[in-house]
Structure 1
Amino acid sequence: MSIRHRTARKRGACLIAALTAAISLSSPHAKAAEPSPPRFTDGFGLQVTSQPRWADENHRTFLFSVSTNQVPTPTLLEGQEPGRHTVVVTLPAGYDPSVRYPVQYYLHGHPDRPDAQWNQRVVENATRDVPLITVQPNGSGRGWYSNWVTPGAAGPQNWETFHLEQVIPFVDANLSTVATREGRAIVGHSMGGFGALHYAEHRPDLFSYAGSFSGGLDLQNSEIRAAVAASSVNPGSGTPTVGADAIFGPPIWPFDGVWNAQSPAQHVESLRGMGVALYTGNGGDLTVNPIQAVLENRARETALVTASHLTAAGIPFHLSDYGDGSGWAPGCTGKHADEACVQADMNHFVGLITRRS
């Protein structure tokens, strides 16, 4: 295992101050009555299509759904409803509407969904004793957290606009949040790791910390291009399928300008002044679960390219390059969608943004 730390000192200080304020205003010994989930009001281009409902009897995580004209017809995974976007919110224990809480946005991977139970477990475990709200918006099986270039018959697929200009202000209007850059962090796994850095680079005014768990960060990498294009035409990524050029345009030179322009690895300058954290394994034993091993191995290459650009720009960052995972967390095998690895990533990231690590 190799772990390199390049932690940005003094980054995320205001986010930590917000957390400290939340702790001081809420008694750790108070036992609140069983709460009802909040009710949400339409706004910012979103219409509430189902009000919040608890995910389970623990009363920390709830789900609701919205419709939006920015992505009116997302491609669907099994069990998803046409035109409806599920959003999952995990509240801190003892959530008090009179207290303002920082928010962490967690972007799921491909072909995952925000209401997958493993995502709930990872978030709840990492934030159990932390006064922090976590929001997981729908990114579809293949949304790639981008405004698509040529969606064709799929209709508008403006995922970036949906999330940054609609979901974030909507959450701030309906929950008791610290509604400033200093009160927000963003992180994601795989496709979501791409999305987290992509969003942070496009809107550094919104986030004080950004992180990637095994993200495909380098769109100039031919293997990542092949993976994105394959996700477009693969029915397993959602139905109906779309063209290989739907998201970023043609992936070949000289028509690949959008791919180059939207690649987080090469456009790190706007992350200056923000906390940045990258996490990756090397895939471990390539003979065991070889698909997930290769995916992680290739994602690692994009993390290293991103790290090299951050270093060249003089931007401090944290890198956990944990190899086969044996020294990172019990049960972590260094593979791409290994829950034990992602759990350890999330634990560490939450520790960074709360300065508990």
Structure 2
Amino acid sequence: MKALLRAVPRGWVAALVGITAMSGLSASTAVAAEQPPHFDDGNGITVVAQPQWVDEEQRTFKLTVRSDQVPEHPAMQEQVSGEHVILVTLPAEYDGTTRYPVNYSLHGAPDRPDSLLNKLINERATEDVPLITVTPNGGGRGWYSNWVSPGSSGEQNWETFHLDQVIPLIDANLKTIPSRAGRAITGHSMGGFGAFHYAQHRPELFSYVGSFSGDLDLLNPEMRAAITASTKWPAAGTPLDPPDAIFGSPVWPLDGIWNAQSPAQHVESLRGMGVAIYAGNGGNLLDNTVQAVAEHRVRETAVVASANLKAAGIPHEFVDYGDGTGWGEGCNGKHAQYPCLQADMNHYVDLIMERLQHP
């Protein structure tokens, strides 16, 4: 049933709802729109804009907060520095009394948590699933880390913001299962790094971790080049920062923080946790070359992480879907490609719901 619902085009769903309403078969549903849950301040977070539904379906809302851990940040177009949007998708049956597990889904770079892509992926993967999905602002290049030398951007404690502030905020204001048994985390690209990074630093918080084409190996010189370059990339936010702002110098022998924070080399703390890794090979490298090459290279970091997990005897799922054939309709193995990401999330949600405590 769940797979069938995911496959139904959104326009068909809207049409069916309209027909039902016009027929008078569900007149009891014609009531005033309910407001999304109210959020209170706490743990260093100030709510500056209460939750608002993003559309008439009333499953997904966004709220805006400020944090004393990231008081300002390099802002992208249509963002306000220091204001952090959090996107939340509720189960269709959410009633404010039943408690549900939460999947934290971390976006890539440069992206916004409330992009249409993130909304669609979260909603379609959780049709008929008793799961809350939360996508917090990770900045255009926050890298889900407490920066070493942030320069003109000021304090950038993204890890503290998310783990010590956002998670308690969600648990305090929504009916969650506020324990490891009710919490999973995943992410795409930069967010895949962030998911593994957070799960490794705080394994008591999560029972499952996933990476969708994540940058998992910081010993890889190509990953180091991409991350340092992002500090000088206006599309990922301004003001710009020094190349060593996030993890310090990437050059030996000054690269100790890069080595210490690399997920692929620090898998031991994932023991006992569910682990899933997804990556393609870029498919035809002459088709959409930039995204093809990007996926081809991040796959190498997934291979390293998987090999280290295997060597440590840690069970995990590595979905190495190549050019996307048979993985998701329209997926051809490129980086940041919607059909591939939707297939990743659909599969991941099925995995975590086998382990998470839920109604």
Instruction: Give your verdict on TM over 0.5.
Output: yes
Gaps of 5+ in 1: 1-29
CA contact (8 A) 2:152 2:239 kept: no
**Which position in structure 2 is the counterpart of 1:55?**
54
For residues 152 and 328 of structure 2, the distance between their equivalents in structure 1, rounded to whole angstroms, comes to 45
**Which position in structure 1 is the counterpart of 2:169?**
170
Amino acid at match of 2:285: L
Give deviations 1:156-210, integer Å, cap 9, x for gaps.
0000000000000010000000000000000000000000000000000000000
CA contact (8 A) 1:265 1:302 kept: yes
For residues 184 and 51 of structure 1, the distance between their equivalents in structure 2, rounded to whole angstroms, comes to 24
Specify the SS of the correspondent of 1:324: coil
**Which position in structure 2 is the counterpart of 1:289?**
288
Q: CA deviation at 1:31?
A: 6.7
For residues 327 and 247 of structure 1, the distance between their equivalents in structure 2, rounded to whole angstroms, comes to 38
CA contact (8 A) 1:31 1:94 kept: no
Specify the SS of the correspondent of 1:233: coil
Specify the SS of the correspondent of 2:80: coil
Per the normalisation by structure 2, the TM-score is 0.90
Q: CA deviation at 1:94?
A: 1.9
Q: Does the alignment pair 1:225 with 2:236? A: no
Q: CA deviation at 1:60?
A: 0.3
**Which position in structure 2 is the counterpart of 1:261?**
260
The Cα RMSD (Å) is 1.2
**Which position in structure 2 is the counterpart of 1:248?**
247
CA contact (8 A) 1:32 1:94 kept: no
**Which position in structure 1 is the counterpart of 2:346?**
347
For residues 337 and 307 of structure 1, the distance between their equivalents in structure 2, rounded to whole angstroms, comes to 21
Larger Rg: 2
Bigger relative contact order, structure 1 or 2 (CA pairs below 8 A, ≥6 apart):
1
1:179-194 alignment runs, 5 A limit? 179-194=178-193
For residues 94 and 353 of structure 1, the distance between their equivalents in structure 2, rounded to whole angstroms, comes to 19
For residues 58 and 210 of structure 2, the distance between their equivalents in structure 1, rounded to whole angstroms, comes to 27
Q: Percent identity?
A: 63
Q: Does the alignment pair 1:98 with 2:73? A: no
Amino acid at match of 1:106: S
For residues 82 and 218 of structure 1, the distance between their equivalents in structure 2, rounded to whole angstroms, comes to 30
Q: CA deviation at 1:355?
A: 3.0
**Which position in structure 2 is the counterpart of 1:19?**
none
Amino acid at match of 1:68: S
Give deviations 1:264-312, integer Å, cap 9, x for gaps.
0000000000000000000000001101001100110000000011001
Runs of 4+ in 1 over 3 A off after TM superposition: 30-34
For residues 73 and 197 of structure 2, the distance between their equivalents in structure 1, rounded to whole angstroms, comes to 20
1:30-69 alignment runs, 5 A limit? 34-69=33-68
Q: CA deviation at 1:152?
A: 1.7
Over 3 Å counting, the alpha-carbon distance change for 1:232 and 1:347 in structure 2 is: same
Q: CA deviation at 1:35?
A: 2.4
**Which position in structure 1 is the counterpart of 2:305?**
306
Tell me the matched-pair count: 327
For residues 53 and 177 of structure 1, the distance between their equivalents in structure 2, rounded to whole angstroms, comes to 19
**Which position in structure 1 is the counterpart of 2:208?**
209
